[in-house]
A = this chain, B = another copy of it.
Amino acid sequence: MNAQALHGHLDALLLAVLERGALHGYAIIEALRARSDGLLDLPTGTVYPALRRLERAGHVVSAWSTVNGRERRTYELTDAGRRALADQRTGWREFSATVGRFLDSGHPSTASS
């Protein structure tokens, strides 16, 4: 499940990660991987453009911070970003409930992972 199906939810995921505190791009990727047990292993070519989209949209702001003489662009949620995240959460719940009505039913089979 290499994020092929993320369509439309990538931004929400990024905002959710940043909700816990500002991070730079690479750290965001690592956070996603860690918090998803390695299921979400997004390439930089996916995340960096997405972050810039979010910045253009005003959902995050970025700043260069120099750590160990290493330039890292740290992204932080804006107020609008927080609102957007709330919206995305609502949208996600609606979406997953709707699709789940068709796909969660049937044979539960699994039960445990």
Contact = CB atoms under 8 A, between A and B. Distances in A.
Interface of A: 1, 4-9, 12-13, 16-17, 19, 35-36, 39-40, 85-86, 88-96, 98-104, 106-107, 110
B36 A91 contact: no
A94 B39 contact: yes
Classify the secondary structure of A's interface with B.
helix
Instruction: Give the interface centre of A7, A86, A98, A100 by most chain B CB atoms within 10 Å.
Output: A98
Q: What are the 9 closest A-B residue pairs judged by CB atoms, nearest first? A: A7-B7, A5-B8, A16-B102, A92-B103, A96-B96, A39-B98, A36-B98, A5-B95, A89-B103
Nearest to A10: B99
